[in-house]
Amino acid sequence: MVKDRKKRLLYSEEIIDRRVKELADTLSHDYKGKDVVIVCVLKGAFIFLADLTRYLGISYVVDFVRLRSYGSQSESSGIVTVTKDIEVSVEGRDVIILEDIVDTGTTLVYLRDMLEKRNPASLKICTLIDKKERRLVEIDADYVGFDLDEGFVVGYGLDFDERFRCLPSVYLIEE
Ligand code: XMP
Ligand code: MG
């Protein structure tokens, strides 16, 4: 049972805040003067979105998508469906997908392909955490907060069966 497992602090509130600000500064530079649509992948990226956007020095609109990847709580199966689509048009606009974590990459490949078909001017991926250990499909995030070699993490939007999502820091669940 995960609720009985120990959690080890991985990224503290302060470390996350510093890194999110750095990412926001980079994005503000790269997207100056562009017609930006930030697509937040629910639920996991909502805290990242809230913090990142408040540091951005550019104009943008935010929209939300919710995807479901069938499988167990800690493993995605590869079958992805959209349970909530975005509502704005991305045609001719500069899209940034905001994710909490890229794991196998299946979810993101699905979303990227879906949005590409809507003819955005550009489409990039920004993820808080890039976990390459279990990558099954080829996909690289353009903006990465933290690289993680392995492990299951919770906090700062990331959950295990809806638990731990609102912890301000990120923790590694110990085996
Ligand atoms: P894929 O495998 O498609 O899945 O890249 C990405 C989604 O899987 C979830 N995920 C995690 N959630 N801690 C979590 O709380 C983790 O370590 C973790 N690894 C994958 C997450 O929903 C992510 O969007
Ligand atoms: Mg997610």
Per-residue pLDDT band for 71 (boundaries 50, 70, 90) equals low
User: Looking at the predicted structure, is the pLDDT value of residue 72 above 80?
Assistant: no
pLDDT of 77? 64
Kindly report the average pLDDT of the chain as a whole number. Answer: 93
Closest ligand by atom to 107 CA: 1
Contact 92, 61 (CB under 8 A): no
CATH number, domain 13-151: 3.40.50.2020
For the CA of 110, the nearest atom of ligand 1: 3
Given this model, what pLDDT does residue 91 score?
Answer: 98
Check whether 170 has a pLDDT greater than 70: yes
pTM of structure: 0.94
Which member of 51, 94, 103, 130 is catalytic? 103
Question: How far apart are the C-alpha atoms of 69 and 142, rounded to whole Å?
Answer: 22
Is ligand 1 within 6 A of the CB of residue 154? yes
Binned at pLDDT 50, 70 and 90, residue 1 comes out as: low
Q: Residue 78's pLDDT band (boundaries 50, 70, 90)?
A: confident
> Could you tell me what percent of the chain has a pLDDT over 70?
94
